[in-house]
């Protein structure tokens, strides 16, 4: 195996980028490291820094066996810098430089554009850790707690991935940006995180599961398009990040699925046929399906906002420059320049939804969002299959793209989840039918009681079908040591 597959542990920072012979970058990262650890201890999982957690750590970038599992205290996790192997003869896959050899150094003319994208990507990673900081305290099982912490350490590693790019390729600006990535805070008034969804709360475990299903999936799509970057180091780092991302979405999909499963089982036992009989369902101590739909509506729409405006010159410029491609750009059969192509985009004008053909170059965000929505539909179908299997007549759906939007053409538009345009007054009056109300939040919060006995699960969620790393049902995924 070549040394770009095996990871070197000879420095404090595990890596496959030859850090020990790159003194300048190694020094810069070592200087950044203490501040990072302070951030982790202050903003990472609250109250569990001393616990031993059964975590996977990346030890190779070989797709067949890249991770090992072991108990670790989270502050001692080996956050490393891992790039997928270089692809021989890789070309710039899109835009005006299409077909030229991929860049190994930052192309000067695109420096600021590239830096902006790397900083935005980097900013979301610690933001999500901050958002999920208190969830350990109400974990419905040690299995779920471990999954939360796994997601957290890997998002933190994704921060390292972006900081490496900044420190290695962006000199002084890169160092400044790296410092600022540790200073902004999710939800802060003075120094908030950069993108909307990353300043929202993740107040309970159902939100956590919806977030990892829907928002981590935006992460997947954005990483897929950055993996298509003509700037090869960015492409390689994003390709490896995608390996880890799959587990985050698995946690989300199965978490929501297990919640639905438990609700359906309890309704059956109690002889309830109508899933919309919210009062009776809630009396069983499980989350009713209509409330699950509302949480879905919230997290899906916040995630749609992360794709930016439907029509965007930023996106056109990044594509044209060859800095950010489309989803699976290298598998698409066209000119990869989008000289004459068009793409349908809907627009909200004069209170009406109209579909227009626009130059495809300007609709790059919209296209990626469409790919995202298709991808997100898969899990929703599998959730519905659970409901159906229990014999209930109820279907979860993805709301209309115009519902509850804060970015793009639909910003603030009074549109129902079914896509009907109504008056702003009616929308405001009916908001709580579609989005979690204070009362819904209070009810869910009332169920969020810790359940930390190995092999046991809180009453609102079904156990998983299989353990992590094939561990048996009563495996102690976290050995608690409360601070």
Residue 305 makes contact with ligand BYC by CB under 6 A:
yes
Among ligand BYC, Fe ion, none, the one that 254 touches (CB under a kind-dependent 5 to 8 A) is none
Residue 204 makes contact with ligand BYC by CB under 6 A:
no
Site for Fe ion in 122-141 (CB under 5 A): 125
The DSSP bridge partners found for residue 70 are 55
- The stretch near ligand BYC (CB under 6 A) out of 310-318, 354-362, 397-405, 412-420 is 310-318
The DSSP bridge partners found for residue 349 are 352
Residue 144 makes contact with Fe ion by CB under 5 A:
no
Q: Name the residue nearer to ligand BYC (CB basis): 127 or 289.
A: 127
**8 A C-beta contact, residue 287 and residue 259:** yes
Burial bucket for residue 226 (CB in 10 Å: 0-12, 13-18, 19+): buried
Residue 307 makes contact with ligand BYC by CB under 6 A:
yes
Find the shortest distance in angstroms from Cβ 290 to Fe ion. 28
Binder of Fe ion out of 248, 258, 262, 405 (CB under 5 A): 248
**8 A C-beta contact, residue 202 and residue 126:** no
- The stretch near ligand BYC (CB under 6 A) out of 71-79, 311-319, 325-333, 466-474 is 311-319
Site for Fe ion in 180-219 (CB under 5 A): 216, 219
Residue 150 makes contact with ligand BYC by CB under 6 A:
no
For 226-229, the CB contacts below 8 A with 24+ separation are 226/117, 226/121, 226/324, 228/93, 228/94, 228/324, 228/325, 228/326, 228/328, 228/329, 228/330, 229/322, 229/323, 229/324, 229/325
408 closest CA partner among 303, 257, 327: 303
As a whole number of angstroms, the distance between CA 20 and CA 351 comes to 60
Residue 440 makes contact with Fe ion by CB under 5 A:
no
Residue 416 makes contact with ligand BYC by CB under 6 A:
no
Residue 306 makes contact with ligand BYC by CB under 6 A:
yes
The DSSP bridge partners found for residue 411 are none
**Count of C-beta atoms within a 10 Å radius of residue 151:** 23
Residue 196 makes contact with ligand BYC by CB under 6 A:
yes
Residue 301 makes contact with ligand BYC by CB under 6 A:
no
Q: Name the residue nearer to ligand BYC (CB basis): 367 or 400.
A: 367
**CA atoms lying within 13 Å on the CB side of residue 451:** 17
Q: Name the residue nearer to ligand BYC (CB basis): 317 or 342.
A: 317
Look at residue 142 and give its three-state secondary structure.
helix
Q: Name the residue nearer to ligand BYC (CB basis): 213 or 427.
A: 213
Residue 117 makes contact with ligand BYC by CB under 6 A:
yes
Distance of CA 384 to the CA centre of its chain: 22
Query: In the structure encoding, which two tokens stand for residue 23, read together?
Result: 């003194």
Among Fe ion, ligand BYC, none, the one that 305 touches (CB under a kind-dependent 5 to 8 A) is ligand BYC
Please tell me the count of residues contacting ligand BYC according to CB under 6 A.
Answer: 24
Find the shortest distance in angstroms from Cβ 415 to ligand BYC. 18
Look at residue 359 and give its three-state secondary structure.
strand
**8 A C-beta contact, residue 337 and residue 322:** no
As a whole number of angstroms, the distance between CA 179 and CA 157 comes to 16
Q: What are phi and psi of 342, to 5 degrees?
A: -125, 170
Residue 330 makes contact with ligand BYC by CB under 6 A:
no
Look at residue 9 and give its three-state secondary structure.
coil
**Count of C-beta atoms within a 10 Å radius of residue 467:** 17
Query: In the structure encoding, which two tokens stand for residue 480, read together?
Result: 């608690």
Residue 186 makes contact with ligand BYC by CB under 6 A:
no
Site for ligand BYC in 347-376 (CB under 6 A): 365
Q: Name the residue nearer to Fe ion (CB basis): 146 or 336.
A: 146
Residue 56 makes contact with Fe ion by CB under 5 A:
no
Residue 113 makes contact with ligand BYC by CB under 6 A:
no
Residue 308 makes contact with ligand BYC by CB under 6 A:
yes
Q: Name the residue nearer to ligand BYC (CB basis): 144 or 310.
A: 310
- The stretch near ligand BYC (CB under 6 A) out of 86-94, 277-285, 307-315, 379-387 is 307-315
As a whole number of angstroms, the distance between CA 290 and CA 277 comes to 9
Among Fe ion, ligand BYC, none, the one that 400 touches (CB under a kind-dependent 5 to 8 A) is none
Site for ligand BYC in 213-232 (CB under 6 A): 215-216, 218-219, 222
392 closest CA partner among 291, 264, 271: 264
Binder of ligand BYC out of 195, 338, 413, 458 (CB under 6 A): 195
Q: What are phi and psi of 343, to 5 degrees?
A: -145, 140
Per-residue DSSP letter, 212: I
- The stretch near ligand BYC (CB under 6 A) out of 77-85, 102-110, 279-287, 305-313 is 305-313
Residue 440's H or E segment, with its range, is helix 438-447
Residue 253 makes contact with ligand BYC by CB under 6 A:
no
CB within 8 Å of 405: residues ≥ 6 apart: 301, 304, 305, 411, 412, 413
Q: What are phi and psi of 398, to 5 degrees?
A: -80, 130
**8 A C-beta contact, residue 235 and residue 118:** no
Q: Name the residue nearer to Fe ion (CB basis): 155 or 305.
A: 155
Residues of this chain that interact with Fe ion (CB under 5 A) are: 125, 155, 158, 216, 219, 245, 248
Residue numbers at the binding site for ligand BYC (CB under 6 A): 117, 120-121, 124-125, 128, 155, 195-196, 215-216, 218-219, 222, 305-309, 312, 314-315, 365, 407
């Amino acid at each position: 195996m070549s040394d770009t597959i095996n990871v070197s542990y000879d420095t404090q920072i595990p890596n496959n980028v030859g850090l020990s012979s790159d003194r300048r970058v190694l020094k810069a990262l070592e200087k950044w490291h203490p501040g990072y650890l302070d951030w982790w201890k202050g903003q990472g999982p609250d109250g569990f820094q001393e616990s031993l957690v059964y975590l996977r750590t990346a030890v190779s970038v070989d797709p067949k066996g890249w991770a090992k599992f072991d108990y670790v205290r989270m502050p001692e996790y080996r956050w490393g810098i891992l790039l997928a192997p270089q692809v021989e003869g890789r070309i710039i896959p899109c835009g005006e430089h299409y077909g030229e050899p991929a860049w190994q150094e930052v192309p000067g003319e695109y420096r600021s554009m590239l830096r902006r994208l790397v900083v935005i990507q980097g900013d979301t990673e610690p933001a999500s850790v901050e958002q999920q900081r208190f969830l350990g305290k109400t974990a419905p099982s040690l299995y779920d707690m471990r999954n939360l912490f796994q997601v957290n350490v890997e998002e933190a590693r994704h921060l390292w991935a972006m900081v490496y790019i900044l420190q290695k390729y962006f000199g002084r600006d890169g160092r400044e940006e790296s410092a600022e990535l540790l200073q902004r805070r999710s939800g802060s008034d003075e120094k908030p995180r950069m993108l909307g969804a990353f300043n929202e709360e993740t107040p309970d475990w159902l939100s956590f599961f919806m977030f990892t299903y829907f928002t981590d999936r935006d992460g997947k799509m954005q990483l897929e398009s950055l993996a298509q970057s003509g700037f090869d180091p960015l492409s390689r780092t994003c390709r490896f990040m995608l390996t880890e991302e799959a587990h985050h979405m698995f946690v989300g999909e199965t978490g929501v699925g297990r919640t639905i499963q438990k609700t359906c089982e309890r309704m059956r036992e109690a002889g309830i046929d109508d899933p919309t009989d919210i009062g009776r369902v809630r009396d069983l101590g499980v989350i009713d399906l209509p409330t699950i739909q509302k949480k879905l509506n919230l997290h899906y729409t916040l995630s749609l906002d992360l794709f930016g405006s439907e029509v965007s010159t930023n996106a056109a410029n990044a594509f044209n420059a060859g800095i950010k491609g489309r989803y699976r750009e290298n598998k698409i059969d066209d000119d990869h320049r989008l000289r004459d192509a068009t793409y349908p985009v809907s627009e909200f004008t004069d209170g009406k939804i109209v579909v227009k053909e626009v130059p495809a170059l300007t609709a790059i965000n919209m296209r990626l969002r469409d790919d995202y929505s298709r991808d997100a539909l898969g899990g929703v179908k599998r959730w519905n299959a659970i409901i159906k299997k229990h014999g209930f007549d109820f279907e979860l759906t993805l709301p209309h793209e115009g519902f509850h939007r804060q970015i793009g053409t639909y910003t603030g538009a009074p549109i129902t989840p079914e896509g009907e345009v109504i008056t702003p007054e009616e929308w405001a009056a009916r908001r709580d039918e579609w989005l979690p109300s204070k009362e819904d939040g209070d009810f869910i919060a009332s169920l969020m009681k810790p359940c930390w006995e190995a092999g046991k699960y809180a009453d609102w969620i079904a156990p998983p079908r299989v353990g992590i790393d094939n561990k048996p049902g009563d495996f102690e995924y976290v050995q608690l040591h409360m601070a």
